[in-house]
Each structure stands twice: as structure tokens, then as C-alpha cells.
Structure 1
Amino acid sequence: MRSLTINGETHEVDVEGDTPLLFVLRDTVGLTGTKYGCGIGQCGACTVLLDGQAIRSCQMPVDSVDAARITTIEAIERDPVGAKVVAAWVGVQVPQCGYCQSGQVMAATALLKETPKPTDEAIAAAMTNLCRCGTYNAIAAAVRQAAA
């Protein structure tokens, strides 16, 4: 049994230490906003914040996060920066299919928490999540709007 702090709440989970955080979030805790995409940490659909840093949860074993604060898309609007990102996502109408968007929002929130006024180059460097609909221009516009 291990104790995890997820979205400000303590969750006791009985899982093997090498279980990817993504599966603990989705299957054990029931937070399904974080998506499974590629399973190898490339696409970013599984992005969550670990102590404020964007990580790919499909590749993070749960025994590596015991003392960390985990934030998922379900709680991102409680964070002032996250709320601005979500508002910008809606304002710019970023999503098409929407599958990657929770990971995109998490990555953008982490970027803006670290760099409140990023350059276009910083946005491009930080926003490495894949979008099969190709909404990259809208994503960058939403990040710029959230930073304004």
C-alpha cells in the first residue's frame, strides 16, 4: 500500500511499484482525463504535473512519485495559471478531436508556470506533445493568449 497526493487529496493505492502512474490514475483512482496514447512516452497524451513539472505518466513508475504532488487535468483549473490556459484553449477553440488536449493543457501550464512570458521559440521547444489533428498553430496561439 502506498500513499499518493493527487489533486490535493491523499489516495491509498495497492499497486506494484513498477506500475506506470498513468494506470494508477486511470484504473485505480478513476481519474480518466489523463489519456493513454502511445505508451512509450512520445506522444504526451498522458502528461500530468509532478511537483509542477510536466511528465509523461505512462513511463513513470508509481514508486518514483510517492512523496510528490501529482496534478491531473481534473484539477488544473484550481491553479490560476491552469485556469488561464483552459480559458485560452476555449477562447482560441484549440481542440478538434480533443484526445491529446488534456496533455497539451498540462504541458502549457507547466511551461507558463516556469516561463510566464515565453517566446515563440520557447513555446515550440516546450510544447512537444503530438496532435494528430495538427492544431499546433492554435495551441501556440492559446499559449500566447494565456501568457498575455
Structure 2
Amino acid sequence: MSVLLHISDTHFGTEEPRVVEALVTLAAQQRPDVVVLSGDITQRARPAQFRAAKTFADRLGALVLAVPGNHDIALFDLWARFTHPYARYAKAFGSDLEPVPRFARPPRYRRQHHAPMAVQERRSVRGADRSRGCTAGRRQRAAVARGGGPPACGRHQG
């Protein structure tokens, strides 16, 4: 069975090194055939943020399909925003804004079962579980740092 790893809203420029390393480790363990890197790859579409995102994508060891989000358009450079909004994205990931994988041969089928897995690193979520004193983002980062498992922050287990 083919393995797909979907990573969304990485917001490079605000990334946390531990989360980046945990995702690289996860990709090495799962050995995906395709990685989909989608939406808001960068925080402010700055060249250095795209370089960091591309370096990360290259470390995943699989075909990467990158799909930009609204944060991947120049924010403060209005001329670039209106004349060539995806130029910085295109320099890092290519000009195809809706990539489709093209395999020289079919992906390898090596698993009996599929296990959907999604990891999203978020700084905070408004109104998220305030009664327990932790944000969804903190719980998600804690789960990734532990190598998966049920989300829980450092103060609350379960």
C-alpha cells in the first residue's frame, strides 16, 4: 500500500526546531511514497523562510508536493503581491501551484493496512480548551515530541 504523509500549515519563520526534527524522524520511520506539504508553508513569504522550508522538504526523503497557502504570498511588498504573487514560492518549489504526482513506476505496495496520520503545529488556537489551561497547539506539539500518542500538554495527561 502506498504511504502518504500530509503536513500542513508549517509557517516556516515561526517553526520550532524540535517539531521540525520530529517530522523528519516521522518521515524516516514511515517512509512515505509522497509527502504533501500544504497551505501556509511560510509565515510571511520571505525568501529565507522559503529556503528553510525547501531544506526541510528535501530532508523528508520522498517526493514532495507543495501547495501554497495565503501566507505564501508577499504581504508587505504590494507590487510583488499583485504582479507576481507566487514568485518566491516558485523559486523554492517550482511554478506548479497544483502539483500532481507523476510516477515513473507505480508506488510500492508494502503495507496491509493504512493508518491516516496528520500533524499540525500551531502556536495557539483561540478559545481552545481554556478550561484545562492549555492550547490545542501545545497539546499537538507535546504529542509530536513524544512520538505520537494521545494529545496532552505537559501539565495535563489525557
TM-score range, shorter chain: under 0.3
TM-score (structure 2 length as normaliser): 0.22
Higher percent of residues as helix: 1
TM-score (structure 1 length as normaliser): 0.23
Q: Based on CA coordinates, which of the two structures has the bigger radius of gyration?
A: 2
